[in-house]
């Protein structure tokens, strides 16, 4: 498969997850029938911006719903190892991942400041308002959860991925707010988790099972007990779509451009 | 203190229905030979039916409960027999394919059920059986509402123990 002819300035941004896959199956500057071998690296064609974009959009993977038992669910993360390296000999993505985590930290801080994005979190119950003597800000009382959620240290960063897999035990209640507790929707999630396949826990199935629970066609024994106390879902650690995904992709594109430039493969410098 | 195992066959059957529904929701289902996914979620029933909403259905039919005394006073061993009936009827495909579809569906259900031999409650993990498994699977035909369905009947065997005055 050949590279596309010419630059593609209108390549849509933020579409990596949704359709644009790596169409550059052959490494750019690879050995041709009469050209030098790839290993010699005597000649490499300059990279086009479109190639870099396609490489990033096709290879950067965002995990928004990664159920990891009771630890913290959903966890979020991003995996960069599938990025088409375009012959740039990239081995680790720590630099753009760190920049992406810094960006996400600010995004999470905005979630707290705006009390839920894009939809506002459900207001506190009358009982909660009475206990804390205020109805706002939601999820911020001592500020400890917000401080932890917007700290760099809760991220696990490897050379190819960055993720939040759990909250520290002293802010255990953050998990309840992130995922909700006791609602029929929560029971539906628990039922789907019990099938043992995390892929089953998707919004479509959650909706179907919730409807079945409402209709009484599924029969978990302790439904009444499990739904006695309800904490609504107020997700504060989330990728905002499409802005966060686009911004992170842009971080990677800029980083790869800089790398291409550093090895003399800038498309502007022939 | 409530005894951990239920003696009511209805509870066992409801657990089976739940498990089959959840299994179908999670499986990329292969009932049609052309690769199309069949929506079976609405075709799972407690008890055998005369009419089905779609081209395929699964019915969980309670059959038999056998109680025998055990050595301990008042303790009984309960053996449950439950039939799981699967039906497929497709006019736009060959009889061979329909036969394969119904046998595949039966095997998939058998496979899902064998992931948890104790039929644990998905929320509390409380077991309903000491063990339970599909003992027999028979292929056959059934006429429902003047329509000939390719069918399969699986015999599910489950065993638990209860104390007599309690359950």
Both tokens of B111, joined, read 């496979």
Q: Where is pLDDT greater, at A148 or B71?
A: A148
- Quote the mean pLDDT of chain A: 73
> Does the pLDDT value for residue B132 go beyond 90?
yes
With CB atoms and an 8 Å threshold, state whether B25 touches A192.
Answer: yes
Using DSSP bridges, classify how beta strands B131-144 and B56-69 pair: parallel, antiparallel or unpaired: unpaired
> Does the pLDDT value for residue A162 go beyond 80?
yes
- The whole-number pLDDT of residue B29 equals 53
Both tokens of B163, joined, read 């104390």
How far apart CA B20 and CA B36 sit, in angstroms, is 20
With CB atoms and an 8 Å threshold, state whether B21 touches A200.
Answer: no
Per-residue pLDDT, averaged over A83-101, amounts to 80
Closest CA to A4 of A48, A45, A60, A58: A48
A121's torsion region: left (phi>0), alpha (psi -120 to 50) or beta? beta
Both tokens of A160, joined, read 């190819």
How far apart CA B100 and CA B104 sit, in angstroms, is 6
Residues in contact with B40: Cβ distance below 8 Å, sequence separation at least 6, in sequence order = B24, B29, B31, B54, B56, B57, B58, B105
Both tokens of A87, joined, read 């012959």
Task: Determine contact, residues A184/A210, Cβ cutoff 8 Å.
Answer: yes
Which residues from chain A sit within 8 angstroms of residue B124, using beta carbons?
220-222
Residues in contact with A74: Cβ distance below 8 Å, sequence separation at least 6, in sequence order = A64, A65, A66, A67, A178, A179
Per the listing, tokens 């609405």 go with B42
> Does the pLDDT value for residue A67 go beyond 50?
no
Q: Where is pLDDT greater, at B64 or A89?
A: B64
- The whole-number pLDDT of residue A110 equals 92
Lowest mean pLDDT among A203-217, B57-71, B128-142: A203-217
Confidence of residue B35 (pLDDT cuts 50, 70, 90): very low
Highest mean pLDDT among A9-23, A227-241, B79-93, B147-161: B147-161
Chain centroid to Cα B160, Å, comes to 17
> Does the pLDDT value for residue A35 go beyond 60?
no
How is residue A6 annotated by DSSP? S
Highest mean pLDDT among A91-105, A182-196, B96-110, B151-165: B151-165
- Three-state DSSP class for A98? helix
Both tokens of A212, joined, read 């079945």
Per-residue pLDDT, averaged over A122-147, amounts to 88
How is residue B29 annotated by DSSP? -
Task: Determine contact, residues B132/B117, Cβ cutoff 8 Å.
Answer: yes
The ipTM estimated for the assembled molecules is 0.70
Shortest CB distance from B123 goes to which of A190, A208, A209?
Answer: A190
- The whole-number pLDDT of residue B147 equals 87
> Does the pLDDT value for residue A17 go beyond 60?
no
How far apart CA A34 and CA A21 sit, in angstroms, is 29
With CB atoms and an 8 Å threshold, state whether B15 touches A219.
Answer: yes
> Does the pLDDT value for residue A258 go beyond 50?
yes
> Does the pLDDT value for residue A176 go beyond 90?
no
**Interchain contact A223–B (C-beta under 8 A):** yes
- Three-state DSSP class for A138? coil
> Does the pLDDT value for residue A234 go beyond 50?
yes
- The whole-number pLDDT of residue A47 equals 67
With CB atoms and an 8 Å threshold, state whether A221 touches B126.
Answer: yes
- The whole-number pLDDT of residue B13 equals 94
Strand partners, B65: B80
Q: Could you give the count of Cα atoms lying within 13 Å of A101 in the half-sphere of its Cβ?
A: 24
Per-residue pLDDT, averaged over A46-72, amounts to 60
- The whole-number pLDDT of residue B39 equals 53
Closest CA to B93 of B14, B36, B8, B152: B36
% of chain A with per-residue pLDDT over 70: 71
Q: How far is A226 from chain B (nearest CA, A)?
A: 8
- Three-state DSSP class for A127? helix
> Does the pLDDT value for residue A70 go beyond 70?
no
Both tokens of A190, joined, read 């628990």
- The whole-number pLDDT of residue B110 equals 93
- Whether the predicted model's global pTM rises above the 0.80 cut: no
Confidence of residue A19 (pLDDT cuts 50, 70, 90): very low
Shortest CB distance from A205 goes to which of B25, B120, B126?
Answer: B25
How far apart CA A178 and CA A229 sit, in angstroms, is 16
- Quote the mean pLDDT of chain B: 85
Per-residue pLDDT, averaged over B141-149, amounts to 89
With CB atoms and an 8 Å threshold, state whether A200 touches B22.
Answer: yes
> Does the pLDDT value for residue B80 go beyond 90?
yes
Which residues from chain A sit within 8 angstroms of residue B22, using beta carbons?
191-192, 194-195, 200, 209, 218
Lowest mean pLDDT among A118-122, B17-21, B115-119, B163-167: B163-167
E strand or H helix that includes residue B111: helix B95-113
């Amino acid at each position: 498969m050949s590279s596309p002819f010419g630059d593609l300035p209108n390549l849509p941004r933020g579409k990596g997850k949704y359709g644009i896959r790596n169409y550059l199956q052959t490494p750019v500057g690879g050995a041709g029938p009469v050209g030098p071998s790839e290993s010699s690296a005597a000649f490499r064609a300059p990279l086009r911006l479109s190639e870099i974009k396609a490489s990033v959009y096709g290879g950067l993977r965002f995990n928004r719903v990664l159920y990891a038992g009771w630890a913290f669910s959903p966890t979020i993360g991003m995996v960069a190892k599938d990025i088409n390296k375009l012959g740039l000999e990239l081995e680790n993505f720590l630099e753009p991942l760190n920049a992406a985590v810094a960006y996400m930290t600010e995004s999470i801080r905005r979630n707290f400041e705006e009390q839920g994005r894009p939809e506002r979190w459900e207001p506190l119950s009358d009982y909660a308002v009475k206990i804390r003597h205020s109805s706002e800000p939601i999820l911020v009382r001592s500020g400890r959860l917000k401080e932890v959620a917007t700290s760099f240290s809760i991220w696990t960063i490897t050379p190819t991925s960055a993720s939040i897999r759990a909250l520290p035990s002293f802010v255990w209640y953050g998990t309840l707010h992130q995922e909700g507790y006791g609602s029929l929707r929560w029971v539906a999630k628990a039922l789907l988790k019990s099938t043992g396949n995390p892929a089953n826990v998707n919004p479509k199935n959650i909706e179907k099972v919730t409807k079945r629970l409402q209709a009484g066609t599924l029969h978990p024994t302790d439904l009444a007990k499990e739904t006695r106390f309800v904490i609504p879902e107020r997700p504060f650690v989330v990728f905002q779509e499409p802005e966060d995904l686009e911004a992170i992709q842009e971080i990677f594109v800029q980083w790869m451009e800089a790398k291409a430039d550093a090895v003399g493969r800038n498309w502007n410098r022939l | 203190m409530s005894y951990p195992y239920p003696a009511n066959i209805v509870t066992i059957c409801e657990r089976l229905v739940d498990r089959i529904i959840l299994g179908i929701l999670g499986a990329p289902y292969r009932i049609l030979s052309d690769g199309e996914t069949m929506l079976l979620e609405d075709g799972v029933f407690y008890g055998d039916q005369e009419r089905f909403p779609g081209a395929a259905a699964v019915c969980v039919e309670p059959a038999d409960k056998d109680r025998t005394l055990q050595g301990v006073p008042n303790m009984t061993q309960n053996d449950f027999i439950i039939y799981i009936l699967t039906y497929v009827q497709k006019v736009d495909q060959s009889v061979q394919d329909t036969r394969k579809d119904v046998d595949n569906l039966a095997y998939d259900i058998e496979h899902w059920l064998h992931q948890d031999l104790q039929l644990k409650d998905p929320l509390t993990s409380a077991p309903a059986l000491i063990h339970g498994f599909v003992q027999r699977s028979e292929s056959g035909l059934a006429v429902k509402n003047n329509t000939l369905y390719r069918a399969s009947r699986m015999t599910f065997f489950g065993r638990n123990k209860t104390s007599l005055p309690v359950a």
